Structure 1
Amino acid sequence: MADLDKLTWFGVGGPAEWLFEPADIEDLKLLLKRCPKEIPIQVLGAGSNILIRDGGIRGITIKLSGFFTKINFYQPHKILLGRVLVTLM
């Protein structure tokens, strides 16, 4: 179990059964590829605009941070945005 209250802006909520913080896109792809279909998956971004029930979240909660908060330029016409649109304006 992993406490989620410290990962939300409101500072409330129960634990995640499993918490996964991928280092990069390849890490995320690997989890999604290998995770059995019957295990529920939830994605937690910056933790704003979300209330987590005191009973917590079953399955895997994916916390996107680090690599996923950046703007990554790959090829001349390919950009991976890991930010909310409003922060880019």
Structure 2
Amino acid sequence: MKHLHGPDRVVVAFPSPANAWVLLVGAHDDDPGRNLYDALYELAGVRPRLNERRTKPPCCSDGAPPVVDSDLVDDLVARARALAKSRRRP
């Protein structure tokens, strides 16, 4: 998740050091139907508990780049495409 401008955010996945997939772009909004974080939870198939505070995962504290999992990225890309198609239908 990367902040863009104002409430806008982008979710990017990296299947390899030379490639990137833009998975989601949208607003950090209080409306559950429009909130990018809710879409990300749906995409990943997870949902934090209501009393749980959302936190960022630990990453790169040792200076090494994050581990690349191309199968996981491929799965997230497929889910993002399916999610986008389902939201476009009236």
Is this a same-fold pair by TM over 0.5?
no
**Greater relative contact order, per chain length (Cα 8 Å cut-off, separation 6+):** 1
* TM-score, normalised with respect to structure 1: 0.23
> Which has the larger share of strand?
1
> Which has the larger share of helix?
2
